[in-house]
Amino acid sequence: MSSPLLFIIACLIWGSTFFAITLQLGEVPPAVSVVYRFALASAVLFAWCAARGHQLLLPWRAQRWLILQGCATFAVSYICTYTSEQYLVSGLVAVLFALMVFWNPILNHFSFGTALGMRTWAAGGVAIAGVTLLFYHSIFGAWNEILNGGNGHFLLGLGLALCATIASSVGNMLVIKVREQSDNVLLTMAWAMLWGSLLVALWVLASGQSFVMPTTAKYWGGLLYLSLLGSVIAVAAYFTLIHRIGSDKAVYIGVVTPVISVLLSIQLEHYRPGLLEWLGMALCLSSVAWALKPTSSTTAKT
DSSP annotation string for 173-225 = HHHHHHHHH---HHHHHHHHHHHHHHHHHHHHHHTT---PPP--HHHHHHHHI
User: Is the pLDDT confidence value at 246 over 80?
Assistant: no
Averaged pLDDT score across all residues of the chain: 87
> CA-CA distance, 87 to 141, in Å (whole number)?
13
pLDDT tier at 250, thresholds 50, 70, 90: confident
Closest to 85 (Cα-Cα) out of 181, 34, 160, 167: 160
| Percentage of the chain exceeding pLDDT 70 | 96
Q: Is the pTM of this model over 0.85?
A: yes
Q: How far apart (Å, rounded) are the C-alpha atoms in residues 77 and 38?
A: 12
Of 110-124, 227-241, 269-283, the poorest mean pLDDT is in: 110-124
pLDDT in tens, 91-148: 989 988 888 888 878 887 887 777 778 888 888 888 889 888 888 888 888 888 887 8
Measured distance CA(58)–CA(70) in Å, rounded: 15
pLDDT at residue 226, as a whole number: 95
The CB density around residue 217, as the number of other CB atoms within 10 Å, is 9
pLDDT at residue 185, as a whole number: 86
Cα-Cα-Cα-Cα dihedral sign, residues 10, 12, 17, 20: negative
Rg (CA), the chain: 19
**How far apart are the two ends of the chain, measured CA to CA in Å?**
24
Return the pLDDT at 299. Answer: 41
Predicted pLDDT of residue 121:
83
Tell me the average pLDDT across 167-178.
Answer: 86
**Quick one: residue 297, left, alpha or beta (phi over 0 = left, psi -120 to 50 = alpha)?**
alpha
Q: State mean pLDDT over 266-286.
A: 90
For 33-60, what is the mean pLDDT? 95
**CA–CA distance, 142 with 128 (Å, rounded to integer):** 19
Model confidence at 261, in pLDDT bands (50, 70, 90)? Answer: very high
Closest CA to 197 of 237, 226, 165: 226
Residue 116 DSSP one-character state: -
The confidence score (pLDDT) of residue 175 equals: 82
User: Taking a C-beta distance cutoff of 8 angstroms, is the pair 58, 187 a contact?
Assistant: yes
Q: Which amino acid is at 182?
A: S
pLDDT higher at 54 or 146: 54
Sign of CA dihedral 11, 13, 16, 18: negative
Q: Residue 220 belongs to what H/E stretch?
A: helix 217-224
Three-state secondary structure call for residue 58: coil
Q: Closest Cα partner for 27 from 221, 215, 205, 160?
A: 215
Q: Which residues pair with 120 in a beta bridge?
A: none
Q: Report the C-alpha gap between 168 and 156 in whole angstroms.
A: 18
Predicted confidence at residue 287, as pLDDT, reads 86
Is a pLDDT exceeding 70 seen at residue 168?
yes
Name, in order, each residue with C-beta under 8 angstroms of 176's C-beta and a sequence gap of 6 or more.
112
**If you average pLDDT over residues 78-101, what whole number do you get?**
90
Distance between CA atoms of residues 233 and 235, nearest Å: 5
- At 288, the pLDDT band (50, 70, 90 cuts) reads confident
The DSSP letter of residue 28 is: B
Exposed (0-12), middle (13-18) or buried (19+): which is 240, by Cβ within 10 Å? Answer: middle
3-state helix, strand, coil in the chain (%, to 5): 80, 0, 20
